[in-house]
Homo-oligomer: A and B are copies of this chain.
Amino acid sequence: MKNQTYRMTMLFDFYGELLTERQKEFFDLYYNEDLSLSEIAENSGISRQGVRDVIVRAEHVMQEVEDKTGLIRRFMAMSGNLQKIQDAAEGIRLINYRQYEDPAIDSYLGEITDAVAALKE
């Protein structure tokens, strides 16, 4: 399951609060804290298979919400457009650096870079 950690982390970031406390805890320990199923089982006093079932169920709950709403997909599609903005701002910065040395243009470019950074957070 851990070869899907990136997808799982995205699901948990978006939809983790929809899980039960136990689902949240096991999911977090397994994917974010990198504990093994056996370690979680030992600490929580249930079987390894029981831990696995909780985590798989948590994944299904979150994946179902994503399949229905597509919100992670929408967020991901945004990052391509942010890259385009950043590239264009960089193009203007180079022209300004080589030809005009206009501080007002640089200041505006700084605002664009800051806003893109805030959108990527």
A interface size (C-beta, 8 A): 33
Q: Is the interface of A mostly helix, strand, loop or mixed?
A: helix
Chain A, range 1-35, C-beta contacts under 8 Å to B: 14-15, 17-18
Closest 5 CB pairs of A and B: A17-B68, A88-B111, A88-B108, A84-B115, A81-B115
Measured in the bound complex, the distance between the Cα atoms of B5 and A51 in whole Å is 43
Contacts of A84 in B (CB 8 A): 111-112, 114-115
Which residue of chain B has its CB nearest to the CB of A84? Answer: B115
Chain A, range 86-111, C-beta contacts under 8 Å to B: 87-89, 91-92, 95, 99-100, 102, 104-105, 108-109, 111
Measured in the bound complex, the distance between the Cα atoms of B108 and A109 in whole Å is 12
Measured in the bound complex, the distance between the Cα atoms of B118 and A34 in whole Å is 37
